[in-house]
Amino acid sequence: MADEIVERLQSHLKSDVLEVRVPRARRIFLRVKTTSFKEAIRYAILELGFSHLSSITGIDLGGEIELIYHLAYRNATELSLIIRVPKGDALVPTISDLMPNSALYEREVHDLMGVRFDGLSDLSPLLLPDGWPKEIYPLRKEYTFSDLHEIKLKKS
């Protein structure tokens, strides 16, 4: 099952696929070029039938931020679609047009990682308290726990 999906993804995306791993049954990790991300995820959702978005994870790699879209096919095969964006200018097209519930996860990543989503209208804080200072993204590696302790909330 997983092999067939990988094959179809590879034949569709061709050289845009940077890395593929199938560590065990029902798990696929696939890294694609950021430029072809939207096409890749559209293909996975609409053509391959990955109808369930489990979550979006953001990871701070230092200079770049890695975004992982966890998609599930028939609730069984889990495809992790990985892209990398530069940390300074982290801008990714939203997929809330394909997957309405992704807005929630995108707002979460925006809150905690500082990735902006192009086309997402509502970027108000979701998890962080009101009055949280701008430009401080707690899950980025440069903020340690003790730094976060010192943050004072702005009074609204």
Cβ closer to other proteins: 14 or 149? 149
Q: Which of 18, 70, 93, 94 binds other proteins (CB under 8 A)?
A: 70
CB of 146 to other proteins, least distance (A): 10
* Part of the chain binding other proteins (CB under 8 A), chosen from 2-10, 36-44, 83-91, 128-136: 128-136
Which pairs with CB-CB distance under 8 Å and at least 24 residues apart come from 92-95? 92/34, 92/37, 92/67, 92/116, 92/117, 92/118, 93/37, 93/38, 93/117, 93/118, 93/119, 94/118, 94/119, 94/120, 95/38, 95/41, 95/45, 95/53, 95/69
Kindly write out the interface string for residues 24-43 of this chain, putting x where it contacts other proteins by CB under 8 A and - elsewhere.
Answer: x-xx-x--------------
Contact between 134 and other proteins per CB under 8 A: no
